[in-house]
Amino acid sequence: MRGGRIIGLHLGLIAVLFALNFLLPAYSHGTVARVMVLATYAMGYNILFGYTGLLSLGHAMFFAAGMYGLAMPMTHLGLGAGPALLTGIGAAAVLSLGVGLLALRTRGVAFMIVTLMFAQAAWLTILLAGRWTRGDEGVVIPQADRVLLGLDLSDPQTRYLAALALFSAVLFGTLWLVRQPMGRVLVAIRENEDRAELLGYDTFRHKLGAVVLSGTVSGAAGAAYGLFFGYAGASFAETHYSIFPLLWVLLGGAGTVIGPFLGTLFMFYLIDLASGLTPAYMLIAGVALVLLTLFAPQGLAGEIRRRWWRGLP
């Protein structure tokens, strides 16, 4: 019964997003496509932060690993979109495994700083390799190459549906994961790591699994972003892009399946609106972070869960 309602809610969201493909005006249509890809990034972040309780300040490196793992072979080796998507996701998976093995030796604040430092090094590396990455200027992926399985991803309709497909896959993947034994153990680690260890769970391996899963999903979002919008730039590896998913997830509700989407949607529109008014649009992000920390650490979906729907995953 309860499971039915939950599946219904998330299927409903997908249905609404699908309907919007035909209803939205051009500008919003492009924005929502972007939001779905970025929400996928946020869902990846949420696996680690929301469900496992590990706060990373360096997820931009995974997003960028996916993006550059796709863009570099495409622009320099002439690799097709399909295989390049795989190299992008693979690059993020390998990077997250390496970072996880090192960073998980630390806890709490040290974990946050270590991830921040690794991401900083990754961003600087992209700048250092400017000969190939063209640094801040970035590389443009030619329209002719952005064809996946015969679908032209530079076409707005196709791109929207491809973004929706990725988003749905990760949304239901998360929903499935958190009901699996592994997902339950991740939550147990978030709630009380010592106790989880003494129930016989190898908490290090579970956390490593969470880092790799989270980093890989984030990388898939980065690769998709590069492919769908035809561009890879160093700004996506900057600290901003590590803070954004934290902000989106906090706003939407950490440790909820639907929260990252809500948070990304709201914050994206808010920042979009603000950037029309002032160049200091990141002020919104700052104010939102402080207010969320003070008054709504549970976020939107977290409040819904607290007030009305206790079983919301």
Partner 1 sequence: MEFGPHLMLAVLEGAVTAAVLALMASGLSLVFGVMRVVNVAHGQFFMLGAVLAWAVSSAVSSALGGGAFGFVAAVLLAPVIAGALAVAADLTVLKRVGYDPERTIVATIGLLYILQQAALMTYGPEARPVAPPFNDRLALPWVAFGPEGPRLIWPWGLSITSYKLFVMGAAAAVLAGLWALMTRTGIGLVMRATQLDRETAQAFGIPVERVYAGVFGLGAALAALAGVLIVPIQQAHYLMGGDALLLSFIVVIIGGLGSLGGTVIAALLIGLSDGIVSVFFSPTLAKILATLLVALVLVFRPEGLRGKAAR
Partner 2 sequence: MSALLSTRALSRSFGGLRAVHEVDLDLGPGEVRALIGPNGAGKTTFVSMLIGRVAPSSGRIVFDGQDITRLPAHARVRLGLAYTFQITSVFARLPVAENVALAARRRFGRDRAAVAAEVARTLGRVGLTGRDDSAAGDLSYGHQRLLELAMGLAQAPRVLILDEPTQGLSEPEIETFKALVRALAGETAILLIEHNMGVVMDLADRITVLDAGVVLAEGAPAAIRADARVQAAYLGRSADA
Interacting residues with partner 2 (CB under 8 A): 180-181, 184-185, 187-188, 191-192, 194-203
Residues with Cβ within 8 Å of 134's Cβ and at least 6 positions away in sequence, in order, are none
Assign residue 139 a region (left: φ > 0; alpha: ψ between -120 and 50; beta: otherwise): beta
Residues 186/48, Cβ–Cβ less than 8 Å: no
Residue ranges in 81-110 that form contacts with partner 1 under rule CB under 8 A = 102-103, 105-106, 108-110
Q: Which two tokens stand for residue 36?
A: 């779905």
d(CA 257, CA 123): 29
Q: For 81, how many CA atoms within 13 A lie in the half-sphere containing its CB?
A: 21
**Smallest separation, CB 51 to partner 1 (Å):** 15
The span from the CA of 212 to the CA of 245, in Å, is 16
Pairing of strands 139-140, 231-232: antiparallel
Report d(CA 143, CA 75) in Å as an integer.
12
Residue 198 touches which of partner 2, partner 1, none (CB < 5 to 8 A by kind)? partner 2
Q: What angle do CA 261, 214, 83 make, to 5 degrees?
A: 95
Contact residue for partner 1 among 287, 303, 306, 311 (CB under 8 A): 287
Which span sits near partner 1 by CB under 8 A: 153-161, 203-211, 257-265, 291-299? Answer: 291-299
The partner in contact with residue 124, picked from partner 2, partner 1, none with C-beta cut-offs of 5 to 8 angstroms by kind, is: partner 1
- Say which entry of partner 2, partner 1, none residue 95 contacts (CB below 5 to 8 A, set by partner kind): none
Cα–Cα distance, 311 to 288 (Å, whole number)? 27
* Cα–Cα distance for residue pair 129/196, rounded to 1 Å: 43
Query: Which of partner 1, partner 2, none interacts with 223 (beta carbon under 5 to 8 A by kind)?
Result: none
Q: Name the residue nearer to partner 1 (CB basis): 37 or 237.
A: 237
4 touches partner 1 (CB under 8 A): no
| Distance, CA of 254 to CA of 4 (rounded, Å) | 22
- Residue 190: both structure tokens together: 């978030």
Cα(149)–Cα(161) distance, rounded to whole angstroms? 14
Residues 177-206 that bind partner 1 (CB under 8 A): none
Q: Does 250 bind partner 1 (CB under 8 A)?
A: yes
Is 124 an interacting residue with respect to partner 1 (CB under 8 A)? yes
Q: How far is the CB of 113 from partner 1 (least distance, A)?
A: 6
Which entry of partner 2, partner 1, none binds 203, CB below 5 to 8 A by partner kind?
partner 2
Stretch that binds partner 1, among 11-19, 111-119, 152-160, 229-237 (CB under 8 A): 111-119
The yes or no reply on residue 137 touching partner 1 (CB under 8 A) is no
**Which of 99, 220 has the CB closer to partner 1?**
99
Query: Nearest approach, Cβ of 203 to partner 2 (angstroms)?
Result: 7
Instruction: Please report how close the Cβ of residue 102 comes to partner 1 at its closest, in angstroms.
Output: 5
φ, ψ of residue 151 in degrees (nearest 5): -100, 130
Task: Note the residues at the interface with partner 1 (CB under 8 A).
Answer: 55, 57, 102-103, 105-106, 108-110, 112-114, 116-118, 120-121, 124-125, 127-128, 239, 243, 246, 250, 278-283, 285-294, 297
